């Protein structure tokens, strides 16, 4: 199953015929395995990687570190559920280190992101502090390279 998941992770649109050929199974078996992974929740969705810098879309992406006071018997889960329900939230991670959660959000402007932090996030009872970092340029995400001007043959000189 891991090989199948890796194939789909790299190309969610891979046809069943190609999956079957790469895994040395029948096309029907490939389709059945994918359907089983979808039904049991292993595959939770399909994602298209888009380089938004190549569009007319003007957005701001921010990574917000959140310090949380965990709730009795629920740890961070209850707070995380409240945070990921906000439509602005694209990703939410439990982290080790100085902050407990990292929230990835996208807004139209820096002010919109700031208002999200000040009016929605930092006002939550369990949130003890935040630190907001604005994304300036995306080089690589989810295994996809966005830096198309890289010199693949260029070697780094060690001094």
Q: pLDDT per residue over 108-129, tens digit each?
A: 999 999 999 999 999 998 999 9
Write down how long the chain is: 159
Cα 153 to Cα 159: distance, rounded to the nearest angstrom: 19
Reported confidence tier of residue 158, pLDDT bands at 50, 70, 90: low
Cβ atoms of residues 114 and 80 within 8 Å:
no
Segment among 32-41, 123-132, 147-156 with least mean pLDDT: 147-156
- Put simply, whether the predicted model's pTM sits higher than 0.95 gets the answer no
The answer to whether 19 and 30 have CB atoms below 8 angstroms apart is yes
pLDDT level of residue 146 (50, 70, 90 thresholds): confident
Contact 34, 43 (CB under 8 A): yes
| Share in percent of the chain as helix, strand, coil (round to 5) | 35, 25, 45
């Amino acid at each position: 199953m891991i090989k199948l998941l890796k194939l789909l992770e790299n190309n969610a649109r891979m046809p069943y015929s190609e999956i079957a050929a790469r895994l040395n199974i029948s096309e029907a078996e490939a389709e059945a395995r994918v359907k089983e992974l979808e039904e049991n929740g292993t595959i939770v969705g399909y994602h298209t990687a888009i380089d938004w810098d190549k569009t007319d879309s003007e957005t701001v992406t921010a990574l917000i570190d959140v310090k949380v006071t965990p709730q009795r018997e629920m740890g961070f889960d209850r707070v995380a559920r409240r945070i990921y329900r906000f439509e602005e939230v694209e990703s939410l991670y439990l982290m080790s280190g100085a902050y407990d959660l990292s929230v990835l959000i996208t807004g139209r402007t820096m002010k919109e992101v700031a208002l999200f932090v000040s009016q929605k996030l930092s006002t939550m009872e369990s949130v003890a502090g935040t630190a907001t970092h604005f994304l300036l340029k995306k080089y690589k995400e989810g295994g996809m390279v966005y830096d198309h001007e890289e010199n693949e043959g260029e070697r780094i000189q060690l001094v």
